[in-house]
Amino acid sequence: MDDITAKRLVFTMLDADADGVISKDEYAARADRVTRVSGRSEDDPLVVTARTAGARAWAAMDADGDGGVTFEEYAAWAGAEAFDTVCEPVLSALFDLVDADGDGALDLPEFTALRTALGNPVGNIEAAFAALDIRGDGHIRRADYLASVRAHVSGESSPMGEALYSIGKAEELAQLKEG
């Protein structure tokens, strides 16, 4: 998958109301949804960390400060460098929210909670989990998860990205947003 297609798929997921612009509220809602599925309280240090990292990411993504990010702005911003400096802390913090036992790994129910809260269609989450369970022990390690997301947004080969954003699943995501 090329990097523009990968960026378009992530942008579509982030643009929850499908109006062609990611708003600050849409972006912040990701942490809200993950917090809800994690069952953690608003004052939990992991929630505070996730919200703080998300606010930093939003500030970097909305470079012109107009309160919205178009696909063109997102595509110019997103990539390996943005992931390494801005996105990785956010995704790591969201990962930690659903890591109920704090062992640095997610089982299938935790991974499902995370990815559905982030807006992925449910139908392809098991395939993505299987692609990331490289040890075959029923767990996805944080480092493997983050490396796969980084590869996806950089347009590199990503087993999880391919599973989460298969063509049929991308169409399903677009239909969910329209309905």
- SS3 for 41-63, per residue? CCCCHHHHHHHHHHHHHHHHHCC
- What pLDDT sits at residue 29? 94
Segment 61-111, tens digit of pLDDT:
998 999 999 999 999 998 888 889 999 999 999 999 999 999 999 999 999
Rounded to 5°, angle at Cα 41 from 83 and 91: 10
Buried b (16+ CB within 10 A) or exposed e, 4-33: eebbbbbbbbbbbeeeebbbbebbebbbeb
Segment 168-178, tens digit of pLDDT:
444 444 444 45
Q: Please say if the pLDDT value at position 136 is more than 90.
A: yes
Task: Tell me which of 163 and 143 has the higher pLDDT.
Answer: 143
What CATH number corresponds to the domain at position 160? 1.10.238.10
Please report the beta strands in the chain, taking only residues with DSSP state E, as ranges in sequence order: 21-23, 68-70, 105-106, 140-141
Distance CA 151, CA 10 (A): 13
Distance CA 163, CA 130 (A): 9
Indicate the helix (H) or strand (E) that contains 66. Answer: none
- What pLDDT sits at residue 59? 94
Instruction: Give the global pTM.
Output: 0.85
**Mean pLDDT calculated for residue range 114-140:** 88
Please name every residue paired with 112 in a beta bridge, in sequence order, or none if there are none: none
Question: Number of structural domains, the chain?
Answer: 1
SS3 21: strand
Name the residue range of residue 141's domain.
3-178
Segment 17-48, tens digit of pLDDT:
999 999 999 999 999 999 999 999 999 999 99
Segment 139-159, tens digit of pLDDT:
999 999 998 888 887 777 777
Distance CA 23, CA 167 (A): 25
- What pLDDT sits at residue 127? 85
